[in-house]
Structure formats: structure tokens, C-alpha cells
Amino acid sequence: TTRRLVKMEGDCCEESGPTEVNTSTISHLVKVNKDKLTVMYNGKANHRMDVGSVQANRPFSRSSLVGYFEMTVLNAGTRGCMSIGLASSDFKNTGHPGWEPGSYGYHGDDGKKYCHSSRGEPYASKFGSEDVVGCGFNFASREIFFTKNGKSLGVAFINPDDSYFPTVGLHSEGEQIRLNFGEDPQLPFMYPLHLLLREEREKIAATVSNIPMSVMDINQLVANFLRHEGYLESLASFEQCAMLPQGEKKWSSSENEMKRSAIRQLIIQGNMEEAEGTIRERFPSVLEKNLRAKAFINSQKFIEMLLAEQQDDAIMFARENLSKILHESSTDSQMSESGAEEKEGPLRDPEIVSYLQEVIGLLAYEDPASSPLAHLLSSEHRKKVADVVNTAILEQDNVGSRSDLETLLKQLVACQDTLRRMKGGRGPKFVLEEAIRK
């Protein structure tokens, strides 16, 4: 069922990381330049809580292997009370990172590391003017680490809370720092982050390579897919050839599996009347509650009429059935207590609306088989309808809509997409359908 698997390529979305200071939450004790990267302390620092903290506009991206940023100390001020670290989005801007719950920091005035407390622990040397200090989070090992002038200071914290917003604090007159989130290729990090990333990728690759995967495991995945999709005859032949153990069925009863398989075969054969009858008899809620399945089943009935050259019947069916489903899909009607329709909202399911309009559009052609919509008359389209109905039945029985094999392939696509983005989008895009054909 490559058609449905290929759609997974669009499931991965870009998740952006931090790029600048969030100026909407800054303390009145700091001033941020127009570049939104340079920050100056603007207070008197007379009290302990006269800290001016700033956070990045976004947390580290969870799609990154390692999140990292650096701070260049342009001026350490009168006392060098600066800090760098990570904190949650609700962090108070009147304290240093590490003081508040859900925050972690490395402080320049004493070189200590702080975690959820104003009492620090020995960690590294102090830092001041002209030093470049960095903070990173390794998502693979779940470790927070700090760097100074391009060298790692070692792991500071492990298994932190979900505190991924880069945060810095200033607390003495004259302090000025400049942040670097790695956005400008002309301003590379002082710390060789690329070496750490390469090391982590090699560790992951080694871990994956050492996971045993037997032929039996692969055969079980294939059998799982065939049963999930309702290909019971193919499953029986495969189980016999692969000598799979006859264990308990993972999902519904064998009777339900046989009904799903029968429905698939009827749809592929174009026998929509009998297929619909079996669905109504065995799985009535599929047609009552699943609008997508209802749309595809009725559309295929309409298509089969056109294939049988029953033009008048097809037109009548479209008026009496498809138009109603199109209306159901087009609006999200709100009903009053009396049952009267009060108003219509936005499109409920644009995909179904577009599909139904395309199907009805077959009537516009004297010879639909040679029209731009000819793909709707193909055997491949029948298989697509069978997939939609099979998925609807599985969902009704509280069974996952994806088989284990599909889930594995979805993960493969996500990993390939992530690896490509980590390389800056370089190299050819991974296309699942092409990989399967190879």
C-alpha cells in the first residue's frame, strides 16, 4: 500500500529554534539593542533581586540533536555578576537562571552551577570581559553542558525539566553581552559544535546497528501489515511460506478480520452494492459516523454507475446522495436546542469537499475515461477506497489506523527528513516511493 505510505513525507514539519531575544518579556533593568542580540544592564544593582534577565524568543528545537548558544562578554561591569543557562517559559526576569525552579545556570562571578536554588555548587572557573561562554543541551543524552572560550566545561546537569529557553542574567553596572544563536554564518560558534554533533550521530548509528533484527522479526512485520489491511488470503500464503508461529490474533476476532477482507475484495471488484450491504450489516457506525468513509463509498458507487454507462442513474444518484454528503462536508452547522439550524461555520473537511467536487466533475466529460479525471475510474482508485474503508473499520474497533510496518516507515521518513535539515537542506530529498522501488 505504497500510496498511503508516500503521504507520510508531508507529515514532518520544520520546528524553528531560538533566533533573538524576546523583547516582550524583558526586565526594565536591561536594554536590548535593535539587533535583538546585544543586551546591557540598565540598573543600579542595589538589591539582590535587581537582576535583569532576558530569554530567547523560542526554546531549542526538539528536532535538533543538540541545542546550543553562546554569549560574548563585551563588558563585565563593576562586579561581573552575569549568568547563562536555560529556563522554562514562565521564568521570572528578576533572577538569574538557576535560582528559580525549572532553570539551570552557570554564573560568572563565582564559577558555580545553579539548579533550582540560589546556593550553587562548584563547577568551573569564573568568566568576565572578552570571554565567550556557551550553553548547550544534548537531547540524545539529556545533558546540559557549558563551554568557555571554545572548550567544554563538562556535563553540569542531567535529565533536566522541559526548560529549553536560552536565558541570561545581568546584575552589575556596565555589564554588556552579545548573544549568538548560530543564525549568522559569518559569526560561527567558538565551540566546535559540529564535532560534538558528529560524535553523537556516530553513537546513535552504532546503537542502531547493534540492534538485532532477525528474519523472523521482518516476517512478523509483513504479516502484521497483511492482517491489518485485510489481505487474509495473502496472509495465509505468507504465513505458510515464512513458517510463522500461529499465535493469537492481535486485534479483532477472526470473523471481523474475514469481514474486512471480504469488504476489501468487493470494493476492488467494483461490487459496491454488496460491499455497502456488508458494511451496514457488520459495521453500521462506519457509514453513520465516519464522513470520510461515507463520502468515498458513495463516490465509488457513483463511479461504478459511470463505468457501467448508467449515465442517468449516476446523475440521479449524485443529486440525491453526493450533494447531501458535499453539504455535510462543506459546513459545520450549529443547531439550536429546538433542532433548527442557526448558522453555518467554516469548512468541516476541505479534503473531502475537494474530492467530491472532483468526482462529480466526471459528469462534465463526454468520455470520462480520456479526461483529466480518468484516474478516478482506475483499479488503483478502488484500492484507495478500500484503504479508506478498512481504516474506518479499524478505528471503529479502537484499533490503530496504521500497522506496525507503516509506523516504522513513517519514522524512517521523519529521520531522513531530520538528517537532511541538520545538513542545512543539502543533498537529495528522501522519497519513500523511490526507495521502495529500488
Q: What's the rounded mean pLDDT across residues 391-419? A: 82
Distances (CA, A) of 241 to 258, 291, 327: 21, 39, 49
Q: What's the rounded mean pLDDT across residues 299-328? A: 92
d(CA 347, CA 341): 16
d(CA 247, CA 228): 15
pLDDT tens for each residue of 59-111: 998 878 899 999 999 999 999 999 999 999 999 888 999 998 889 999 999 99
Beta strand 151-158 pairing with 143-148 = antiparallel
pLDDT tens for each residue of 39-68: 999 988 888 888 999 999 999 988 788 999
Map 317-385 to HEC letters.
HHHHHHHHHHHHHHCCEEECCCCCEEEECCCCCHHHHHHHHHHHHHHHCCCHHHCCCHHHHCHHHHHHH
If pLDDT is split at 50, 70 and 90, which confidence band does 346 have? Answer: very low
Res. 437: pLDDT tops 90: no
Give the residue from 303, 347, 341 showing the smallest Cα distance to 321: 303
Res. 266: pLDDT tops 90: yes
The pLDDT, as a whole number, for residue 15 is 64
The pLDDT, as a whole number, for residue 6 is 44
The pLDDT, as a whole number, for residue 251 is 41
Q: Write down the mean pLDDT value for the chain.
A: 85
Residues 6+ apart with CB under 8 A from 371: 362, 364, 365
In this predicted structure, which of 126-130, 272-276, 347-351 has the lowest mean pLDDT?
347-351
pLDDT tens for each residue of 197-251: 999 989 888 988 888 878 888 888 888 888 878 887 888 788 777 766 655 444 4
The pLDDT, as a whole number, for residue 287 is 84
Res. 13: pLDDT tops 60: no
d(CA 296, CA 386): 9
Res. 127: pLDDT tops 80: yes
Task: Report the DSSP beta bridge partners of residue 312.
Answer: none
pLDDT tens for each residue of 360-388: 999 999 999 999 999 999 999 999 999 99
All three cell numbers of 157: 546537569
The pLDDT, as a whole number, for residue 338 is 44
Res. 433: pLDDT tops 70: yes
The pLDDT, as a whole number, for residue 231 is 82
Q: What's the rounded mean pLDDT across residues 148-168? A: 93
